[in-house]
Chains A and B, each alone.
Chain A
């Protein structure tokens, strides 16, 4: 039932495009977790973020409404995930784990050294 996972990811992406904090929170499990990998090259949280409220705030900050950026749904390691690009340059790739129809874990890769395969044109 991959489509449940897909709709969880779609739900998060839609909430992000709307920039709606409430919608973001409802797309997440109450005990959602976000882990950021910046590799010391870009600013990123150094500890995992726990709980829908904090994860929603992080996602809003990092992925939503940044000028000139585009958030797309991609096949990340065999499952639906997300990519954030500006002018074709990947700024973040996000692998997602969902439970039911909500997002449970976000693995947010921000380290530029790990995004070279994700630039488009």
Chain B
């Protein structure tokens, strides 16, 4: 940062106008960085204002890349603010939560991606050091190259990679929350209803984007079929085999904390069906087939 604090000569009106135009164009991004660092729209707003004041009094003729310079200034100020903000929060009465932001106009709040923005993520980021948090935010939400993050944090690329990977571990550890047993059973029931009727739209609504349907013939190689992957494919596959459900009676079993559907035909178990779920919906449909009957589904 070339912040001498002294303005060598008064800037011309044209020059200030250009400076304001540059600042305005990157302002949403600066706010997005500051908010993700501080979990406070009010504090982020003040910080961005501070960056604007500094930008006006900077010798801009030596700044090669204004956008990078402004992001650097914002990040470094945010790291300092976060340290004092955290000490203030120690005396906060009751639970401390982030200051919510309205993202209806800008879903990713100035960033390339929606990472490091949801309440759960902001709360998990409270556990990070200010440097870890900055590295994580710049990488995950704004897609900065590691080298550039190293420049911003006055660090080295390997050190930044370390920071980001440590931060990822603490922030994403609770990302894929398995749903409760009751919710999983409800999802399985809804799933079977949709599968029986071949309701494509209903099936697609239940699935996570990376859903896979896997048949397993109790480990016998010749009946393990290739998994069907993707929302549309899995839905179409199920819609194509609605005939299978004719004469099937469903009973429930709880196996290792998961609800499974036992599919009975003529009084005998023909298959066991279970689904695994993430917060995004069903991510795996698992059929464990009675080998003698597997051919019926091929």
Contact mask B213-238 → A, CB, 8 Å, 1/0? 00000000000000000000000000
CB of A79 to closest CB in B, whole Å: 6
CB-CB under 8 A for A37 and B281, given A1-B209, A100-B187 = no
User: Does A36 lie within 8 Å of B94, measured CB to CB?
Assistant: yes
Q: Which of B93, B119, B209 contacts A40 (CB 8 A)?
A: B93
Which of the four size classes fits the interface of chain B?
A: 35 or more
B114 within 8 A of A: yes
User: Does B277 lie within 8 Å of A100, measured CB to CB?
Assistant: yes
What chain A residues lie within 8 Å of B102 (beta carbons)?
A: 74-76, 117-118
User: Does B101 lie within 8 Å of A77, measured CB to CB?
Assistant: yes
Q: Which of B41, B108, B279 contacts A99 (CB 8 A)?
A: B279
Binds B, one of A16-24, A53-61, A62-70, A105-113: A105-113
User: Does A99 lie within 8 Å of B180, measured CB to CB?
Assistant: yes
What chain A residues lie within 8 Å of B114 (beta carbons)?
A: 78
Q: Which of B94, B117, B179, B180 contacts A77 (CB 8 A)?
A: B117
Give CA–CA (A118, B103) in the complex, Å.
Answer: 11
What chain A residues lie within 8 Å of B107 (beta carbons)?
A: 75, 78
Contact mask B26-41 → A, CB, 8 Å, 1/0? 0000000000000011
User: Does B122 lie within 8 Å of A1, measured CB to CB?
Assistant: no
List B263-281 residues whose CB lies under 8 Å from chain A: 277, 279-281
CB-CB under 8 A for A77 and B118, given A1-B208, A31-B180, A100-B281 = yes
User: Does B119 lie within 8 Å of A97, measured CB to CB?
Assistant: yes
User: Does B99 lie within 8 Å of A109, measured CB to CB?
Assistant: yes
User: Does B94 lie within 8 Å of A1, measured CB to CB?
Assistant: no
A97 closest partner in B (C-beta): B120
CB of A75 to closest CB in B, whole Å: 4
Give CA–CA (A76, B209) in the complex, Å.
Answer: 23
Contact mask B175-215 → A, CB, 8 Å, 1/0? 00111101110110000000000000000010111000000
CB of A121 to closest CB in B, whole Å: 14
What chain A residues lie within 8 Å of B208 (beta carbons)?
A: 1
Q: Which of B41, B93, B97, B179 contacts A107 (CB 8 A)?
A: B97
Give CA–CA (A45, B205) in the complex, Å.
Answer: 36
What chain A residues lie within 8 Å of B108 (beta carbons)?
A: 78
CB-CB under 8 A for A104 and B98, given A75-B107, A79-B118 = no
B45 closest partner in A (C-beta): A117
What chain A residues lie within 8 Å of B158 (beta carbons)?
A: none
What chain B residues lie within 8 Å of A1 (beta carbons)?
A: 205, 207-209, 280-281
B42 within 8 A of A: yes
Give CA–CA (A95, B102) in the complex, Å.
Answer: 11
CB of B262 to closest CB in A, whole Å: 22
B117 closest partner in A (C-beta): A78
CB of A97 to closest CB in B, whole Å: 6
CB of B231 to closest CB in A, whole Å: 9
User: Does A81 lie within 8 Å of B100, measured CB to CB?
Assistant: yes
What chain A residues lie within 8 Å of B103 (beta carbons)?
A: 75-78
Give CA–CA (A75, B109) in the complex, Å.
Answer: 11
User: Does A99 lie within 8 Å of B94, measured CB to CB?
Assistant: no
B95 within 8 A of A: yes
Give CA–CA (A40, B91) in the complex, Å.
Answer: 11
User: Does A100 lie within 8 Å of B98, measured CB to CB?
Assistant: no
User: Does B109 lie within 8 Å of A78, measured CB to CB?
Assistant: yes
What chain A residues lie within 8 Å of B40 (beta carbons)?
A: 114
CB of B255 to closest CB in A, whole Å: 19
A88 within 8 A of B: no
Interface residues in chain A, defined as those with a beta carbon under 8 Å from any beta carbon in chain B: 1, 3-5, 29-31, 35-40, 44-48, 74-79, 81, 93, 95, 97-102, 104-105, 107, 109, 113-114, 116-118
Q: Enumerate 5 A-B pairs (CB-CB under 8 Å) in ascending A order.
A: A37-B96, A46-B93, A99-B177, A100-B183, A100-B277
List the 4 closest pairs (A to B, CB-CB), nearest first: A40-B93, A37-B97, A95-B119, A114-B99
